[in-house]
Structure 1
Amino acid sequence: MPKSSPKDPGSPTGKFSDKRSSNRKKTEPARKPVGLGSVILFWPFLIFHGLISPLPKFLRVPIRLLGDPLIAGLYAGLAMAGFYFVRARPYDMAKVAEMPERTVVFDRRGEELGRIHGEKRDVIKVSEVAQDFIFAILAREDKRFYTHGGVDWIGVGRAVKENFVRGGAAQGASTLTMQLARNSFALKASLLDFSPKIQELDRKLLETAVSYRIESTYSKEEILQHYLNRIFWGHQVRGIEEASRTYFEKSAKDLTLSESALLAGIVRGPNAFSPFKDIDKAIRERNTVLDRMVSEGFIKADQAEAAKKEPISIRPEWRRIFHDSYAMDAIRRELERILEEENIELGGLQITTTIDHLIQKKAEEALDAKLREIERRPGYDHQTRAAWNALPIDKKTQPQYLQGSVVAIENLTGAVLAIVGGRNADESKFNRALQGKRQIGSVFKPFVYLAGFESGIRPDTLIDDGPISRGEIRGAGAWHPHNSDGKFGGYLPASTGLIRSRNTMSVRVGNRAGIDKVADVALSVGFETPMPKLPTSFLGAWEASTYEVASAYTVFPNCGVRYAPRLIKEIRDRNGNVVWPEKGDSPYISYEAVSKGPAWSVSNILHEVTTRGTAAAIKSLGFNKDCGGKTGTTNDYKDAWFAGYTSSITCAVWVGLDTPKKTIEKGYGATLALPVWVEVMKTADKLGYKAEGLKSQLSFVECRLCRSSGKRATAGCEAAQEAYTDNVPKDMVPAENDLCPDHPAKAIPLDGEVPEATTSNRPPKAQPVSDDSPILDEEEIEIPKAIPVDEGEPVIQKAIPVPESQGR
């Protein structure tokens, strides 16, 4: 039999077989090759499908239905991780460690005066925190802190489970790192057009990404430290150290187990669980934390039970109120002038001030004590501080009770030792020492005489104490002020005019010096508000602050030198580096405000004011050191002043009502202000600010002068018996050709006899003070404002003389 041909249709390998093969190729589509991009993009799916391909179809299909969504979820998770990683990148991780803390203010003795700016916290190290608190916060907030990488996924899983089962959010999903991220940055949702729940999820995912960045930047120890210093504890308190001091008045390193558990317990609701608001809730939270500490193995059960029985001793209510201070107000103002706002608000500075807290305290106490004494007087008809304090809260308005201010300055530095702007900064924020501008009255007269002495007048120069005639005083028109006692005298030494505070003499001295000269002197010695260029200003009919008066008076003990007043001595940053003043610089600035001789001469006269003038009561009040000063009492007893000094300190005191009105009958500066000054100075002397006597290093020259003109004496002065010899400060010696114009030499006959006309026309001799009896205090006469007239010359209304009964 012949062999079958390969193409035989009957053969198994023949034509029929080839036809069936061809049919299969037509019915089954050909597989396309998989591209490289698809492999890279979908390789998890390809691997997954390849792994399950050997399985039977009934297993392969359900596995794919579960596996493909899971792989797709993985894709979505990776995409979201990338998205939130990009969103987390801009956050500066350095900010985690930058925490605004309170700036601590110290006095010159190192005593803490208070804290300002920044946030209410103290930044400390983990090693400075009690170990019991570390265990308590970990048990309460994050028991797996040292094992997770920023997010506790076990806790997240538990939270999701609890949320699914109970329909509410579970506790414990947020780690310390996540809380730190939330407290360090303002993590805002970007999906603002979605529902609040979606926005919250968006914010939570961003918080997670930032937490991982924190974990990659800082060690666990550093993260814990930043968390403990940043966390909020209620009542504006931040950080464990400040919380410990606020609630328990102790450092964080001294916390007991019970106190540690309580603080850890109130973290989640510091305002709701605060022991200041609800001690029972705080104790409940403490006990919960103690139980957790036992279950997590941090402490034993018997320790927890003992801690639960421990009584809670928190800061008493009367010590919870932060008391404001006029000194701190002044320090804030000066700090703002020195540093930029950013440095101030960040806080964390250490400021050493010039304030002496012992003098500050005495000034506050002395002022309030004196004014309480006045308020207790029979017939006192103003609001008292006690009456204001007794008012219900809803009835209290701005206090209207008697007020005062005190400023004490160290002469040779300008350092402010005390600044009191009222009786209580909690009751009135208005700082009268800095902001209160009141009529200064007679306390300005020394500067008028200072200008006069710089213009050639001498303390022994004769000045008329008689009535002022119309047109005599430049720019005064018909104004003619009276003396406080309503009396007039003859020609008296200029020094007597200041000692006795004679208005007519003071105006004449100012007139001889010139209004421009007096205004220049006022500006040079530290009065910030330009003196009005009116003759009434010679009598202090303009306003200044206590701070300005005190600073201006320092030129007298300093022989003309003025140090600009300063409250801040040194500023250090949180690392202890000096940031102000710059290296080599001094915070104290000095300059020669006025000539030495005239300042020394006025100082000598002011010394007499305190021994036999209006301030002679100083010794009877208990201060017997060398000093100088001047009282001042404005019209109708509206303002009472005393400004005075020793060789070490200058102090100014003002007393009055905020709305100017009569304080009390005979409310003189010597009655109201001087006693406060004495108490401040007695304290300063005891503290080592010694009053060693008002001395001078000036050079003196002996010369022959005329008593009426203050110029070099001529033969005419000798003949008129007006010449005298004096030791004059070198800078006050008249020039050789600066001869007396009142007694020309040619008026003297050759034989030396004095013509009758010369003696008859000679001004009367000086009327020296005939006894050493004290001169009682004076009240300033009313000084109306100038009224311009058509001719352009200011005409000042006639002053009303003060009755003799008020002229003390």
Structure 2
Amino acid sequence: ETAFIAALPKAPNNYNPARHPQAAKARRDWVLAGMAETGALTPEQAKAAMAEPLAVHFRDPEGEPPGYFLEEVRRELVARFGEKVVYEGGLTVRTSYTRSYQDIADKAFREGLVAYDRRHGWRGAITHLPNAASAQNALSGIADPPGTAGWQLAAVTAVEPSAAHIVLKKGGQGRISVNELRWARKTLDDQRLGAGIGRVSEVLQPGDIVLVEPVAAAAPAGRRGAPQPSAQYALRQIPDISGGLVVLDPKTGRVFAMVGGWSFQQSQFNRATQAKRQPGSAFKPFVFATALENGFSPYSVVEDAPISIPQGPGQTPWEPVNYEGSYVGETTLSDALVHSRNLVTARLAVSVGLPAIAKTVQNFDVMDKMPLYYSMSLGAGETTLLRLTSAYAMIDNGGHWLLPSVVDSVQDRQGRVIYQKGVKDCAACFVAAAPAAGAAADPAYKVTGAPPPGSLAVQNARFIENAVLYKPTKPDPLISDTSDRELIAMMQGVVERGTGTAVAAVGKPLAGKTGTTSDWFDAWFVGFSPDLAAGVYVGFDDPRTLGTGEVGGHVAAPIFRDFMMAALKNVPAKPFPEAPSASAAVATNVLRGAPNGTDEDQTASLSPPDADTLTPRGVARDGRQRGTPLPNDSAARPDQGQNPYWAPVPRAYSAPYPGTYGSTTYPPPYAPYSAPRSYGSPGGYPGYPTTSQRDYDTPGGYPPAQGAGYPAPGWRPGRGTGGLY
């Protein structure tokens, strides 16, 4: 075997033992003869070795290798050590890859994309040749498309009203019945569907080259001389939509599985780590976390009704709407997250202020710098699936910061550990060589000296001589334990009775949030059990609509559900820590959101209180004003001129509106409302930093608030979506 391996480098393909066994054996014997000439073997040993057959042992097929995960390992190693060390340093690398989770993730993701793709029809054959004979002759020379898995290439040889006859590239014949083509209505613009299918000829023609999958074996032969029934096949097509799925440990940040697209062979672009997309309402938990940290409770009352937020002199106010285009009036904070109410989220952004939200977002590492625009509160910024899933994992673990990683440890050729992720009592720490003199410091970490004794995770090894411990500089915890448990309970409600009820079928405690961007461009679901976090993103590489009504709860949530159902199948149900408000929920005044016996005359305030009209004693625990006049309905307050980040004054309420919320006209201070407004992410227009821009000249690290921070109507046509969901 060693002699054969030594023979391979000259021409690996020419000496492939499966394809060219005689040439491979001859080359092996040549090496053995050379070893005898040099004295490495005796002539007798060489003769005995040459007499042995060249045995080839094939491993059982394991499906497509985890290309996205392996490439992410390579990228992380190169970023940390450089290409020369990675390719020439003789490193031993241990990763967090978990085969069982990866297999489940691959299956759930592919099935989810296929289910979506079939809902939106047939885009046509792979290619079409003039007639059945030419298609059949060309079939053997047509390369299999990447990512076909168990599907096969076939040529359509004949078409009947009720079935199409096919010849397979791998040999054999079969038929596709019209019932297997009902889904294959023509795909129209904006993912709409053409007319229903009545005849096979409306989908397939002789000469088509298509992908098929067996659905039933050929029936047993009948009496002698009777025609042999054909095997049954179903028509398949590779989805043109893509996305990603990430699975990680919420306690350590170890990434167990990663899917970056339909197939790594098809595209090496990793949509889980490299694609920056708008998360939509999957961003909202961080707005609500900020509110909980600033005095609100799950039962605080906030108005779900139209709001107009000034953007500056001469600029059109920002007027978000709910996905449904309607609103419910007074509602609790918990209900607003469960049902993903945009208007409540916008009010919270005004109340707590954009800088506070930006601090939360950056502490959880969702974004490097959150631009201070109110549309950010509805997920109009950009992030990656891995970053958002990691941030959810931090919510899951009690608010402790994580470093998501695919590499556990690295040893050099001498066996010394030159990198280790995590030490005892600090999962986010890592051990590595001390930074070189003059090297740029990583603001997320600080050096704290030698690694503690007993922290080595690799047996029979030692750290490199100059190893030091790196600790994160983030606050710990990122949010209070009370706020964290309340937020998890609210996110459980999303699964149990809100926009993510598709996930409830798992039957075990889960929490999460759906996300959909304007015009159904992106669909998300990110969630977790107490011990496992996962995130799913689905969208087109060239952003366009997924189709009317294709929200995160319908597209991404079923993928998350299928993954969790298999991953947790044999895992006992484990509850989340109980939220502090759980025991007091039955004693809640639903109208006002205050526990019985407390000040029931409180009213929700949606702007910062004036320092000269409100004392600290006048602020309730949930952040609402007590008996203080609400600010006038003006475009700006005098003190706003001194603070460019002060939240603009909203159209505030002093009492519940007595009229009918179904009306389309409102008394002041509401602006007229007629239909859902178009809005989306800030794009390439004045005042908005580019995606790659990270440094800002303004004090405090934030760009100045811009009045022209929103695209003009028509930038992304509304089509009635009502914004982010």
Whether 1:375 aligns to 2:117 is yes
Secondary structure of 2:526's partner? Answer: strand
Q: Greater shift after overlay, 511-520 or 583-592?
A: 583-592
1:562 to 384, 401, 410: 401
For the 8 Å contact 2:530–2:574, the answer to whether it is kept is yes
- Matches of 1:683 and 1:495, distance apart in 2: 29
Secondary structure of 1:675's partner? Answer: helix
- Matches of 2:248 and 2:59, distance apart in 1: 36
Whether 1:666 aligns to 2:559 is no
- For residues 315-714 of structure 1, the aligned pairs below 5 Å read 323=65, 325-339=67-81, 341-377=83-119, 379-381=121-123, 401-469=240-308, 471=310, 477-581=316-420, 582=431, 583-584=451-452, 591-620=476-505, 623-686=506-569, 691-695=573-577
CA RMSD of aligned residues (A): 4.8
| Counterpart amino acid of residue 597 in structure 1 | T
Number of the residue aligned with 1:793: 707
Shift of 1:508: 0.8
Shift of 1:793: 2.8
- Matches of 1:323 and 1:541, distance apart in 2: 35
- Matches of 1:638 and 1:280, distance apart in 2: 56
- Matches of 1:409 and 1:680, distance apart in 2: 13
For the 8 Å contact 2:299–2:588, the answer to whether it is kept is no
- For residues 729-748 of structure 1, the aligned pairs below 5 Å read 738-739=619-620, 742-744=625-627
Shift of 1:459: 1.8
Shift of 1:524: 0.8
Q: 1:405 to 1:764 in 2, by over 3 A?
A: same
Shift of 1:737: 5.8
Q: 1:505 to 1:273 in 2, by over 3 A?
A: closer
| Counterpart amino acid of residue 522 in structure 1 | V
| Counterpart amino acid of residue 487 in structure 2 | V
Secondary structure of 1:599's partner? Answer: helix
Number of the residue aligned with 2:187: none
- Matches of 2:314 and 2:524, distance apart in 1: 28
Q: TM-score, normalised by structure 1?
A: 0.53
Secondary structure of 2:380's partner? Answer: coil
Shift of 1:490: 1.3
1:783 to 659, 676, 680: 680
Structure 2, unaligned stretches of length 5 or more? 127-142, 156-208, 210-237, 421-430, 432-450, 456-468, 605-614, 630-652, 661-675, 688-704
For the 8 Å contact 1:463–1:708, the answer to whether it is kept is no
| Counterpart amino acid of residue 640 in structure 1 | A
1:298 to 15, 37, 42: 42
Secondary structure of 2:568's partner? Answer: helix
Shift of 1:412: 1.5
Q: Greater shift after overlay, 287-296 or 502-511?
A: 287-296
| Counterpart amino acid of residue 524 in structure 2 | W
Secondary structure of 1:351's partner? Answer: strand
Q: 1:788 to 1:705 in 2, by over 3 A?
A: farther
For the 8 Å contact 1:646–1:691, the answer to whether it is kept is no
Shift of 1:507: 0.6
- Matches of 2:616 and 2:154, distance apart in 1: 68
Deviations along 1:434-481, whole A, 9 cap, x unmatched? 101111101001111112222222222221111123649999842212
For the 8 Å contact 1:560–1:595, the answer to whether it is kept is yes
For the 8 Å contact 1:709–1:741, the answer to whether it is kept is no
For the 8 Å contact 1:323–1:426, the answer to whether it is kept is no
| Counterpart amino acid of residue 592 in structure 1 | P
Deviations along 1:535-561, whole A, 9 cap, x unmatched? 111111121100011011123222322
- Matches of 1:578 and 1:562, distance apart in 2: 24
| Counterpart amino acid of residue 284 in structure 2 | K
For the 8 Å contact 1:630–1:643, the answer to whether it is kept is yes
For the 8 Å contact 2:260–2:271, the answer to whether it is kept is yes
- Matches of 2:720 and 2:319, distance apart in 1: 16
For the 8 Å contact 1:414–1:565, the answer to whether it is kept is yes
- Matches of 1:482 and 1:269, distance apart in 2: 65
| Counterpart amino acid of residue 378 in structure 2 | L
For the 8 Å contact 1:457–1:710, the answer to whether it is kept is no
For the 8 Å contact 2:320–2:723, the answer to whether it is kept is no
Structure exhibiting the larger radius of gyration computed from Cα positions: 1
Secondary structure of 2:93's partner? Answer: strand
Q: 1:465 to 1:473 in 2, by over 3 A?
A: farther
For the 8 Å contact 2:243–2:536, the answer to whether it is kept is yes
Secondary structure of 1:459's partner? Answer: coil
- Matches of 1:701 and 1:611, distance apart in 2: 19
For the 8 Å contact 1:559–1:596, the answer to whether it is kept is yes
- Matches of 1:444 and 1:382, distance apart in 2: 37
Identity of matched residues, %: 26
Secondary structure of 1:682's partner? Answer: helix
For the 8 Å contact 1:481–1:798, the answer to whether it is kept is no
Structure 1, unaligned stretches of length 5 or more? 1-243, 245-251, 253-259, 724-733, 747-759, 768-778
Secondary structure of 2:538's partner? Answer: strand
- For residues 735-774 of structure 1, the aligned pairs below 5 Å read 738-739=619-620, 742-744=625-627, 762-763=655-656
Q: 1:442 to 1:798 in 2, by over 3 A?
A: same
- Greater fraction helix: 1
Q: 1:630 to 1:383 in 2, by over 3 A?
A: farther
Q: 1:358 to 1:788 in 2, by over 3 A?
A: same
Deviations along 1:577-628, whole A, 9 cap, x unmatched? 33323443678857322233222222111111100001112233xx111111
- Matches of 1:512 and 1:326, distance apart in 2: 42
| Counterpart amino acid of residue 85 in structure 2 | N
Secondary structure of 1:407's partner? Answer: strand
For the 8 Å contact 2:272–2:384, the answer to whether it is kept is yes
- Matches of 1:269 and 1:795, distance apart in 2: 60
Number of the residue aligned with 1:775: none
- For residues 4-43 of structure 1, the aligned pairs below 5 Å read none
Secondary structure of 1:641's partner? Answer: strand
Q: 1:268 to 1:524 in 2, by over 3 A?
A: closer
Deviations along 1:253-288, whole A, 9 cap, x unmatched? xxxxxxx5x566678877765646744333344556
Q: Greater shift after overlay, 603-612 or 446-455?
A: 446-455
- Matches of 1:658 and 1:538, distance apart in 2: 24
Q: TM-score, normalised by structure 2?
A: 0.59
Secondary structure of 2:246's partner? Answer: strand
Q: 1:300 to 1:663 in 2, by over 3 A?
A: same
- Matches of 2:270 and 2:334, distance apart in 1: 35
- Matches of 1:290 and 1:784, distance apart in 2: 67
